[in-house]
Structure 1
Amino acid sequence: MKKAITVWFWVKILVPILLVLIGLLFFFLVVINLLAGGSSDDSQVCYPSNNDTSAGAGIGGDWKDSKSKTHKAMQAAADKFKNELHMSGDNIAAALAIGLRESQFNPKAENPSGQVKGIWQWGAGGVNGNRYKDTQDNVDSQVNLAIKELKSSHAATLTHMRNADLTHSLEAWDVHFEGVAASDPQRKSTQTLATAQRVKQVFKLDFSGSLTDLTGDDATTAQGGATLNPNNCPPATGTSSGLPVKGQYNITGGYPNYQGAGGSPHYGMDFQTVGAKENGDASNVYAVADGKVYTKAFDATGGNNVIIKNNDGSYTYYGHAPSQESIVVNKGDTVHKGQHISHQGQTGLATGVHVHFGVNKKKPAFAPQSDGLVSGGDYLSKVPRKAVPEKGQTIPAGPFSTDQDKDKK
């Protein structure tokens, strides 16, 4: 009889209780994960440019009219974001375009159920919580709220906006400020990108940013426990051209020979900035793609050189630096497109100050005829046409400028 009671007790009482407790534990774990925004890897927060997408029609309204209230409100917001957060033009254009999408940039906007309100449709006490709190229904108060959150509870937004282009700035704001998935159709990605492109033109938002200047309460703590690490990305300087030099330059040696089709074998390209010496900004060498430093070494041919394994699996070589110290990155460092990595020089077999640039799509091998070597003119999309007579070749040419679109392919 006692055994029967024990079995009944387990089956009828303890087992159901245990199942309920397990279910509640699972439910709380899911909720905590959602509130934290899921796991986040902030080691890669810089993005290659992707603003050339054909975006279609944008969001209408009177915001393009400089005399309209909406235009003036957007201009005030843009000025605050620039002056107080040091956001880039792309960052600001993204924030303004999303404000247009969410509310037509109307600080009095409120959804029918009253659960979200304001320019960026904050939760106002319903299912989304109460982020809005005692914020006033005007532009100044709501922009101040946005800035406060971007410095504290939603700092992950700025972490992912740092050095991001327009497309990825939109994604960073939507995912980390609005709280929607990157693939969510309510983002209206195509229409919002078109709007952001137009916003950038109308408000003349063509400038870089400096988001490392963040200050304020909990400025380094991002939503979900992620960390705003200023070492994740390089400063927003350098070049966005995708070339290893900046400003006025010549191509002084071609591929696969110095003259491109004949002469001494030369499985790389020589870039020489006009007036460059072995130090100073004019001699800077820049990474052409995101990647990680593979080696930093010296050899009799290339002199002091650095090899980077790019995120696309290729390897790029930058040779002839004046010294090991003039290569300003080290083995294992993460580098980003446009980051200053070295200086032009003439160590090894070199005449005149320049950087020897090589590309191998398979392995870190740059000796003549190594398997996987390709022409830098084919790999770099913005080498001027004049220097690329045909596929697989480059020839000495110039001078060119990294700022002149008319010279680019």
Structure 2
Amino acid sequence: MEMTVPAFIAVTLGMVVFFIGALLTREVAFLKDYNIPEPVSGGIAVALVTWGFYVLTDRRIVFDLSVRDYLLVLFFSTIGLNARIADLFKGGRLLVVLLCLTIGFMILQNLVGLVGTLLFGLDRPLAVLLGSAALIGGHGTAIAWGPQIEAITGFAAAEEVGIASATLGLVLAALIGGPIGKSLIDRNGLEGDRDAPPVVGLEFPEKGEPAEVVNHISLMRATLAAHVAILLGWFAHQAIAQMGLMLPLFVPCLLVGIVMSNTVPYVFPHISWPTGSRALAVISDFSLSIFLAMSLMSMQLWTLAELGGPILGVLAMQVAMTVCFALFVVFRTAGRDYQAAVLSSGFAGFALGATPTAIANMSAVTKRYGAAPLAFVVLPLVSAFFVDLANAFVIRFFVGL
């Protein structure tokens, strides 16, 4: 049986979950010291409660997440509005480097899945559901490929394995990114630019320090700019779809935001534009936090019970490989500086989970150590724009082995 929570209540609960996470992060030293994002702490705690409710009553709690998609689009629009063309030019090399690393990682992720299937006597095509289809691809890719893997192998629970792997991957991605960032930053004595304007989220205030005020005009101005970016991005999305190219809606909204912030202030210099403002950072933080809180609180953790010992063993191998790749490959190749450390934290987030998880990991790190604006533009372009295209070819190759 199911209990469906309506959309309005689901959003409200998402806000409550965020504050639960903020309380947990403040009171539990581990969560604070290792930069675990507040919506992750709260979302996992609530998901555990709904799991307990399911075990006791055999009734599933299902949340209407229709509003969550709006929050995701709003968030990426604010990221685009915060992007400066100078940063994009500086990030050209980093974008190519991260893209190449990601493609290489997808191949490596499926190789680990393949080795795992051989070690534990599983069907070879299941490797992609324990690799890039479920992990870097997420729930959508796992659901899309599950029936095809089932048809090839005759394994009736292929789709369920993919969904459960993606769920566990999302949880783990949200937990390892912060510690990776902390390890790299502390070990190498790195620090961000604390004078730079915030990209997403605001730094934690020092004890006794008065909070800076964001007035209602600046907040409304930033919200309007984000909504105009969404509107134009929606039209662009329709045009792109008619050309036969399927992209998530938030990608054109991100790109439109970038174009707007690098044209409107120069064409209309007397307009007060929100790029780099604390008001825009508040909207970014709000939309991302509630999106992630809703995503994690709605996880059906009982599906993880469907993962047997061999499958959990393969996923443990994937986590170990991801941590090593982020620490020793991504960080060194991306420049061994603070920006590279933040990117490594984010890379772990989308390598096992999703782009919003990656952004949340980076936001938790930059709140504590200082801004890294380029990372917040480069990583979404790679993880949201290029990965799905490349992953389709990689998955198809490994399924045919």
Q: Same fold, TM exceeding 0.5?
A: no
Q: Higher strand fraction: Structure 1 or Structure 2?
A: 1
More RCO (CA 8 Å, sep 6+)? 2
TM-score range, shorter chain: under 0.3
Scaled by the length of structure 2, what TM-score is found?
0.25
Q: Higher helix fraction: Structure 1 or Structure 2?
A: 2
Scaled by the length of structure 1, what TM-score is found?
0.24
